[in-house]
Amino acid sequence: MAETLLSVGIDIGTSTTQLILSELSIENMASVFTIPRVSITDKKVIFKSDIIFTPILENNLIDSDGIKEFVEQQYKRAGIIKSDIQTGAIIITGETVRRENAQTVAKALSGFAGDFVVATAGPDLESIIAGKGAGTYSYSERQHTTAVNLDIGGGTTNLVVFNDGDIEDTACFDIGGRLIKVDGNEIIRYISPKVKEIIKKEDLDIYLNEKMNLKELDKLLDIFVQVLENSVGLGKKSPYFDLLITNKPLNTNLKIKCISFSGGVADGITKESLQNPFVYGDIGLLLGKKISGSLLMTALEVIPTVETIRATVVGAGSHTTDVSGSTITYKEDILPLKNIPILQLSKDDESTYNCGNLGNIIQEKVKWFIVDEEVQIIGLGVEGVHSPSFKFIQDLAKEIIKGLDLLIHEELPLVIIVKEDMAKALGHSLYEHLPKDYPFVCIDSIHVRNGDYIDIGKPIAEGSVLPVVVKTLVFN
């Protein structure tokens, strides 16, 4: 019998803002004779909002009230109330992340949209979410192949490479449909800083507040497309390749076999003829058309996507929530926990635990997380071992408690995330050695890395698992 979770996804992008609601089915896939194995078995988008232009205030800040109004409106249209929302994510993407109030808006909105709706940002996560929403992830898994998704939005192109259902690599470039904006009379009203630099170097005849010169624009689009080809290892390297990298290029040794396109510009690739190329007041449609004639379409096998402009929002709504393993220990009253930074122990740290040194190592690393002389809640990531002995677990629990003594002193809840299947026994050991009724969560089967943040929701599936969102939170 499946239990469902109502999940919301909200994408606040460079150019557009949208919202979707999706229903996640949670089921125990194990037989009745074994320990439950609860997983998300189905994801169904049940509501898609209108797509609006992201409201931006005159001082270049994100209009938080405008977005709140939009969310409220769409909830009403969908016929749901805020308290129905059980999980989900707000993702601030593309150039919007760079706006000054991005972080405050994300935090304010996540509380506004639902109790366990998390705020996310960062080009890596954006790439992954878009690739999952586009269906490229499941295609790579189904076909056992290596596929790259290019999510070409207003301000950025997010790349993600999936290999047989594994996330292999991500990249991000400052290439998008709204790097140049025009008004109804084809007068250029905006040029992004990096594009200005290219125009200057190439001496192109494109100027602010003048009419768009299509021939000159074509030269610029050629540069964009060449960099996109370069981004997946095709074509001759453009001199502007390094300039247009947002954070990092792809770094994988795998041979990419398939390619898919999502994001607003992806729709321009398939458009047959263009009545008015500037109908959206930007260069997106022309960029799409340029891509359709490029090496990207011929050198790799182009696979269809299930979503284009909605890929990121569908990804945020349907693909961010995960469930923990089902043998876990937690104190319910401390949930949900949000934005917990991860301290992942390295393999070396754990191999020395035998010498009784792990506690000291954790103590040292906890100091990294002291902000303004105040220690904060930390998610301690532990690898653990496969099929451990009881003694190992006892020792590990003692070392962890020793290592986190600063937090215990402040009576902060402990959050332990174990990779191997051992969280229940470890949790019981922690309970035994911690002060009576000390609040903690100990979960397993969740992958975390240093630099990640984790959100843990209230228990589902009769309390056997916790919904978990692992994310990166990078605001400039």
Partner 1 sequence: MDELNLKEMIKSILNEMVDEVSPVINDDTTKASISTIQSIKPQEVEEGFIPDITEVDIRKQFLVPDPVDKEGYLKMKSYTPARLGLWRAGTRYMTEPSLRFRADHAAAQDAVFSYVNEDLVKELGFVEVSTQCKDKDEYLTRPDLGRKFSDEAINTIKKTVQPNQKIQVIVGDGLSSAAIEANIRDILPSLRQGLKMFGFDFGEVVFIKHCRVPAMDQIGEATGADVVCLLIGERPGLVTSESMSAYIAYKPTIGMPEARRTVVSNIHRQGTPAVEAGAYIAEIIKRMLDNKASGLDLKEK
180 touches partner 1 (CB under 8 A) = no
33 touches partner 1 (CB under 8 A) = yes
Burial label for 62, CB within 10 Å (0-12, 13-18, 19+), is buried
Contact of 45 with 318, CB cutoff 8 Å: yes
429 touches partner 1 (CB under 8 A) = yes
- Give the binding range for partner 1 (CB under 8 A) out of 48-56, 243-251, 274-282, 429-437: 429-437
8: which residues sit within 8 A by CB, 6+ positions away?
Answer: 19, 20, 21, 22, 85, 87, 88, 89, 113, 114, 117, 317
387 touches partner 1 (CB under 8 A) = yes
Chosen residue from 390, 409, 411, 435 binding partner 1 by CB under 8 A: 390
425 touches partner 1 (CB under 8 A) = yes
Helix (H, G, I), strand (E, B) or coil at 89: strand
Query: Could you give the angle at which helices 423-433 and 390-403 cross, rounded to 10 degrees?
Result: 60
Contact of 56 with 17, CB cutoff 8 Å: no
How many residues of this chain bind partner 1 (CB under 8 A)?
24
The position carrying tokens 């016929």 is: 79
- Give the binding range for partner 1 (CB under 8 A) out of 83-91, 132-140, 400-408, 415-423: 415-423
Nearer to partner 1, 428 or 458 (CB): 428
Nearer to partner 1, 74 or 327 (CB): 327
Chosen residue from 201, 432, 449, 450 binding partner 1 by CB under 8 A: 432
d(CA 233, CA 193): 26
Contact of 254 with 161, CB cutoff 8 Å: yes
Checking DSSP bridges between strand 166-173 and strand 188-191, what pairing results, if any? unpaired
Give the residues across from 398 on adjacent strands: none
255 touches partner 1 (CB under 8 A) = no
Task: Tell me the closest approach of the beta carbon of residue 37 to partner 1, in angstroms.
Answer: 10
Query: What amino acid occupies position 448?
Result: V
Helix (H, G, I), strand (E, B) or coil at 303: coil
Query: Taking CB under 8 A as the criterion, which residues in 35-54 touch partner 1?
Result: 35
Of residues 71, 51, 130, 67, the one with CA closest to residue 99: 67
* 155 phi-psi bin (left φ>0, alpha ψ -120 to 50, beta other): alpha
386 touches partner 1 (CB under 8 A) = yes
Chosen residue from 66, 235, 388, 439 binding partner 1 by CB under 8 A: 388
Task: Tell me the closest approach of the beta carbon of residue 33 to partner 1, in angstroms.
Answer: 5
Chosen residue from 393, 404, 415, 441 binding partner 1 by CB under 8 A: 393
Could you tell me the two tokens for 352?
């020395």
Query: Taking CB under 8 A as the criterion, which residues in 122-151 touch partner 1?
Result: 144
428 touches partner 1 (CB under 8 A) = yes
421 touches partner 1 (CB under 8 A) = yes
Chosen residue from 164, 222, 242, 364 binding partner 1 by CB under 8 A: 164
Chosen residue from 21, 102, 314, 422 binding partner 1 by CB under 8 A: 422
34 touches partner 1 (CB under 8 A) = yes
Task: Tell me the closest approach of the beta carbon of residue 431 to partner 1, in angstroms.
Answer: 5
- Give the binding range for partner 1 (CB under 8 A) out of 190-198, 242-250, 339-347, 426-434: 426-434
CA-CA distances (angstroms) from residue 286 to 12, 244, 254, 283?
A: 23, 19, 31, 5
Q: Which residues bind partner 1 (CB under 8 A)?
A: 32-35, 144, 164, 327, 329, 386-390, 393, 421-425, 427-429, 431-432
